Amino acid sequence: MASVPTVTTELGALVGLAGDGVRAWRGIPYARPPVGELRWKAPQPPALSGGVHVATEYGPHAMQSPDPMNPAAVCDEDCLYLNVCTPEGPAPEGGRPVLLWLHGGGYRVGHGEQLGDGEEFARAGIVVVTINYRLGSLGFLHLAGVFGSAEPDAGVCGFLDQVEALKWVRRNISAFGGDPERITVYGVSAGAKSVGNLLGSPLGRGLFAQAISSSGGADHVATPEAGTALARRLLDELGCHDLEALRALPAKEFVEAQERILTGFQALWLWRPTLHPRVLPEVPIEPIRRGSAAGIPLLVGCNSNEGSTYALMLGEDVATAPASGVLSGILGDEGASHLLETYLRRVPDLKSAKIAAMGDERYGIPTQRLADAQSAHAPVYRYRIDIAAPGVPEQLDGGHGTETTMAWKTPLPLASQGSAVNPARERAALLIHRAWVRFIRDGVADADGPEWPPYGPELRPVLVFREDTDLVLDPRADERKAWGDTEWASGTWFPVT
């Protein structure tokens, strides 16, 4: 790409890149660096310096453990940057639809550009915004339970970063040819759970028009009691219980400490926002059921074998070790036994049943409940993906996160370079990308395939993307019913006491 395009924003003039039918601006600060006295504070608007700024390099990632896929990546506490990618050429009157991407990674790892700039979405006429937000103990450490009003927002500042980025986009995206009234928030995994939080939080209202939740839900928050217990455990690990001393500690020490307390519990989800009287006053699914996101169309779904990714990464023994305790904690011993017996009608052995159940505990059932809740107040289109991207080993079919490269139409590192072409899978992958584009652009899901009616809890229509993509009514109904109506905070089981 060449350094050509310049746009004028509240920050001043931004010089970006152009080429291959798109334009891109990278490393744009949407808030002040959250360092020093601003550590664990709500994000502050960026300094308005004016002048000309070169926006051709990505900003640092949020502090996190090293990425084996990208060992040269720069991580820094100064991480609140976003990137914008647009089609070349003038925007139509009224502007183009906007996609704001919230990356996944368990609120512990990840970054905005992990899937690139969104070039294929841009070539389809969409303005793409990708962001970084604070992670782990620097983004979700509930210090209010330890230090009271001295740090009221530490348990939600990563979520507040997402809100601040949306506000910046609404104020500035018209300079990039985007329409601030046509913003779709889209996330996968922790990003999708963040979408659920935005749908349920009073701070999310009026900031976006549509939402896409891939393998998420709207129940993944900590109680103040759980958040406080985890905060105390981290402070014990650091050997530091003085607030001023904590503010002075190098950020790297927090990352190292949070990784140490994670050891042995890799199959469980440690970090998440804590309930907060102003930001997240209740578990988000509850206000969504009452209509907090009324009128916001939702594309929502998950993959058919979410737990398989964890089994491959961690090994089956580690991935299934917490299953009995988690399931009994939710359903009781008898209910957990009945649930696993139900899965055994579909999968070959008990270990596979536990992998399937843990995937549904974290993603499948929360996704279904979010679809049920929002469908009473806006059009909802529900999907399930049964395949991985073409070229990816079939043992990852329907695995967690394997759909993102199909939706974004980007290469996947796990893909085999010399793998045989499978036309049916190639077509399914293309249908997924087209469906996402249509929804972002028009607010209606249409995959150029089978009819895809809006979802409702009566018939529960789900478009299943696979080699023979088809509409299925209430798929795996027996497993859904075996979970019952018991409420729990998905993926949050961690022995913090």
CA distances from 200 to 50, 276, 284 (A): 36, 12, 4
Render 203-246 in DSSP notation, one character per residue. GGTTS-SEEEEES--S---B-HHHHHHHHHHHHHHHT---HHHH
Q: Tally helices (H) and strands (E) across the chain.
A: 17, 13
CA angle 465, 468, 473 (to 5 degrees): 60
Radius of gyration of the chain (CA): 22
**Catalytic-residue membership of 142:** no
Neighbours of 18 (CB within 10 A): 15
The catalytically annotated residue of 189, 194, 352, 490 is 189
DSSP 61: B
CB burial readout 228-247, b (16+ within 10 A) else e: bbbbbbbbebbeeeebeebe
**Catalytic-residue membership of 416:** no
CB 40 within 8 A of CB 143: yes
User: CB-side exposure of 57: number of CA atoms within 13 Å?
Assistant: 8
Nearest CA among 176, 274, 268 for reference residue 227: 274
How far apart CA 330 and CA 99 sit, in angstroms, is: 36
Q: End-to-end CA distance of the chain, in Å? A: 52
**Catalytic-residue membership of 316:** no
14 SS3 class? strand
How far apart CA 145 and CA 402 sit, in angstroms, is: 37
The catalytically annotated residue of 306, 361, 403, 479 is 306
The catalytically annotated residue of 103, 111, 400, 433 is 400
Name 335's Cβ contacts closer than 8 Å, sequence gap at least 6.
Answer: 327, 328, 484, 486
Cite the active site residues. Answer: 189, 306, 400
